[in-house]
Amino acid sequence: MVGNRIDPENILSSSAILQKIEAVCKRHFADENEQNGSFVFIIDSLRADNFRRLRAYKGKSQLTTYIYSLVNTLIVDYRRKIYGRRRIPAGVTKLGKWAEAVYRLVCWQKFSFDDAYDFLQVEDLFEGPYEQYLKAILPIREAPCRENPAFQSLDRETTGASENPHDPDANPLEALIDKLDHARRGKALKIIRATTTALPQEDQLLIRLVYASEQPVSSVAKMIGLSASSARRRLKRLLNQYREQLLAEGIREP
């Protein structure tokens, strides 16, 4: 790379870069076919239009950070692509957009119904209280879901924060949110999303890679060109920023 100019061919022929892209694919998909499909999709997308995405690099962040941001964005595109080919049962569609969102989250992405409720609150798709939601999702629970045999029985206990409270990479914000009632949980999630959106790109990527995957901080630090200690210090600073925003809105740990 000279200045901000890069050689895309060299980037995509680097075994280290390819291995890291493959690791991202494995982290997002348990199915081997989906892992391979997402890997091919990412490589093809990065090569498209004479490497347009890679050539758009302006040097405002580290190259590795820029590449990982691209890869994570393309993973989302691929997920939407494959889920888009799946059909939501007509009975669920009749209930509205909120029901379709619940079905996608719980059936296809294997979140819990409680997690889906949190998502609805953040996206303003369901205005009713939690008790009303439990009644409203009964028809969704009865809908067929080939991709997730445990669809009808999933609850918050099957997913969520790390079971080890002493895990240094566990998400303290997730632990706090799990202790809140549903009314405050929805408000807290909106604050967290707004705070994340306002962060610099590198900080957003660090938060996503550490807390939206199973990768330890030490591995993520290597991916984005930081030492483990630097990454942990930055995470501590960011978590304090989240806590300050939550406290400012009256959200505190019970």
Q: What is the pLDDT tens value at each position of the chain, 254 positions in all?
A: 444 567 888 898 888 889 889 988 888 877 788 888 999 999 999 999 999 999 888 887 788 888 888 898 898 888 878 766 678 899 999 999 999 989 988 887 777 888 788 778 777 888 888 889 999 999 999 898 876 655 655 444 434 434 444 455 556 777 777 677 777 777 888 888 888 888 888 888 888 777 765 567 887 787 777 888 888 889 889 988 988 998 898 887 66
Inside any domain, residue 106? yes
For residue 165, what pLDDT is reported? 42
Its pTM stands at 0.50
What's the confidence (pLDDT) of residue 164?
46
Q: Take residue 177 and report the two structure tokens written for it.
A: 């949110």
Domain around 185: 172-248
pLDDT at 156: 44
Do 75 and 32 lie in a common domain?
yes
pLDDT score for 154: 47
At which of 101, 132, 157 does a domain end? 157
Cα 217 to chain centroid distance, Å, stands at: 16
- Domain boundary (30, 60, 84) is at 84
| Same-domain pairing of 73 and 124 | no
- Same domain? 232 vs 189: yes
Q: Are residues 197 and 149 in the same domain?
A: no
H or E element, residue 234: helix 228-248
pLDDT, position 39: 93
The rounded distance, in Å, linking the Cα atoms of 229 and 93 is 48
Q: Which residue's structure tokens are 């008790």? A: 131
Q: Hey, is 5 helix, strand or coil?
A: strand
Domain's final residue, options 116, 133, 157: 157
